[in-house]
Amino acid sequence: MFIYYQIRNHHYRTEAVPAVTCPLCNHRGRMQMSILQKYTWLAGPMAPSAKYAIAWCENCNQYIPRVKWTDEMDTTYVQLKQGLRTPARLYRGLWVLPLLLVLLVGGILAAISISSGNSRANQAFVLDATLHPKPGDIFQVTHSAGQENFYTWYKVSRITADSVYMQEAKEHAVELNDLDDIPATASDFQSSEKSFSLAETRSLDGMFAKDENGQRAFDLVFGVWRDGKLHKKY
């Protein structure tokens, strides 16, 4: 992560200090002194450091290096800075950073909430599709009958009062993820139909069930392909 910050100067005051003698040219009466304070700027001012002064002489046009400062200059500096208080705004950034953090965390939580909202909406959509199937719907299912388990697709061919008739895909999916490759053509599905009771589907919360080869077979629905769009439960 790239953090952009600057060191900035807060200027308090610049004063003529005519009583002070320049230690460089020994001329008296043309000295100036400024009181400043450095602070960090990162999305706002923060972390002000100690105040400091710079002094220069308008007679010799030189800044006075700190090592050349006389006691007289030090005393003048202390007098000038008396009563100067670090303004509250130099700490304003201390509020800005936590605020940004709160916004960031809030944004992440909102995104999670939206995505789980989507998944709830998809679950509701898939459940509704199993209870109110339409011709052409293709369901992604896990078929279980006794020891037998596989992933496959059922395509709705027709619906009567309480039954949905579906054609199973000729080839099964090898893995769960392969179920998203929805078989595209009519010839991908068997011509024979399986029928399921919609009343039983409702009682099983959207799972298809029927007797098959002398035992109860169940099809757990993962998603439905309807009107050119895949709606997945998980």
> Can you give the binding site for Zn ion, defined by CB under 5 A?
22, 24-25, 27, 57, 59-60
Beta-strand relationship, 215-226 and 208-212 = antiparallel
CB of 11 to Zn ion, least distance (A): 22
CA angle, residues 226, 228, 234, in degrees to nearest 5: 60
- Closest CB to Zn ion among residues 26, 203: 26
Q: Are the beta carbons of 53 and 12 closer than 8 angstroms?
A: no
Burial of 197 (0-12, 13-18, 19+ CB in 10 A): middle
CB of 90 to Zn ion, least distance (A): 32
CB of 53 to Zn ion, least distance (A): 16
- Closest CB to Zn ion among residues 25, 186: 25
- Closest CB to Zn ion among residues 27, 172: 27
CB of 67 to Zn ion, least distance (A): 16
- Closest CB to Zn ion among residues 25, 174: 25
- Closest CB to Zn ion among residues 22, 221: 22
CB of 52 to Zn ion, least distance (A): 20
How far is residue 36's CA from residue 59's CA, in Å, rounded to a whole number? Answer: 22
Q: What are phi and psi of 149, to 5 degrees?
A: -145, 130
